[in-house]
């Protein structure tokens, strides 16, 4: 499967899983620590959107004109918006513990992983400096992963 198609598929699957968590009333955290994580996640999303600018959403994750963004939250994470979506998702799932919620939470995790890997292939082909950036910057958890 080509990276653009994989990226769209990963995003679509993630949205459906998040909708399932909303319907199960399991996306919004039920504990103060979870709510704090979700507020921080939303803050990271907003920061990343402002840093990336108007070109920050592309359904296929294909690179857009304007150069590789490596400042703001992108200094610490290659995928701060996807990371924040995962933080938000898991803060909800872990404060509404059930086997089904856990399984549903794995779906956007897998979908966004597919999207991140596809996006990295597309961006690496477009920007020669991406390999060096990727070597010094983590994907979703600063300093760890």
Contact 8, 123 (CB under 8 A): no
**Domain residue ranges in the chain:** 3-55+69-136
What is 37-91 written as a DSSP string?
HHHHHHHHHHHHHHHH-GGG--TT----SS----SGGGGTBS-HHHHHHHHHHHH
What's the predicted TM-score (pTM) here?
Answer: 0.93
Nearest CA-CA partner of 8 in 51, 45, 59 = 59
| Rounded distance between C-alpha atoms, residue 121 and residue 81, angstroms | 18
Per DSSP, 143 falls in state T
pLDDT value at position 50?
93
What is the pLDDT tens value at each position of the chain, 145 positions in all?
Answer: 899 899 999 999 999 999 999 999 999 999 999 999 999 999 999 999 999 887 666 766 777 777 899 999 999 999 999 999 999 999 999 999 999 999 999 999 999 999 999 999 999 999 999 999 999 999 999 888 7
Contact 43, 72 (CB under 8 A): no
| Rounded distance between C-alpha atoms, residue 7 and residue 60, angstroms | 6
pLDDT value at position 55?
66
What is the H or E stretch that residue 93 is in?
A: helix 80-95
């Amino acid at each position: 499967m080509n990276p653009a198609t994989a990226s769209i598929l990963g995003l679509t699957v993630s949205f459906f899983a998040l909708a399932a968590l909303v319907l199960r009333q399991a996306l919004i955290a039920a504990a103060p620590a979870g709510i704090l994580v979700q507020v921080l996640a939303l803050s990271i999303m907003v920061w990343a959107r402002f840093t990336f600018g108007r070109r920050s959403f592309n359904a296929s994750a294909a690179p857009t004109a304007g150069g590789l963004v490596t400042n703001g939250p992108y200094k610490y994470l290659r995928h701060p918006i996807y990371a924040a979506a995962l933080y938000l998702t898991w803060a909800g799932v872990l404060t509404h513990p059930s086997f089904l919620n856990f399984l549903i939470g794995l779906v956007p995790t897998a979908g966004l992983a597919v999207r991140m890997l596809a996006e990295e292939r597309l961006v690496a082909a477009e920007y020669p400096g991406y390999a060096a950036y990727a070597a010094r910057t983590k994907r979703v958890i600063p300093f760890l992963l």
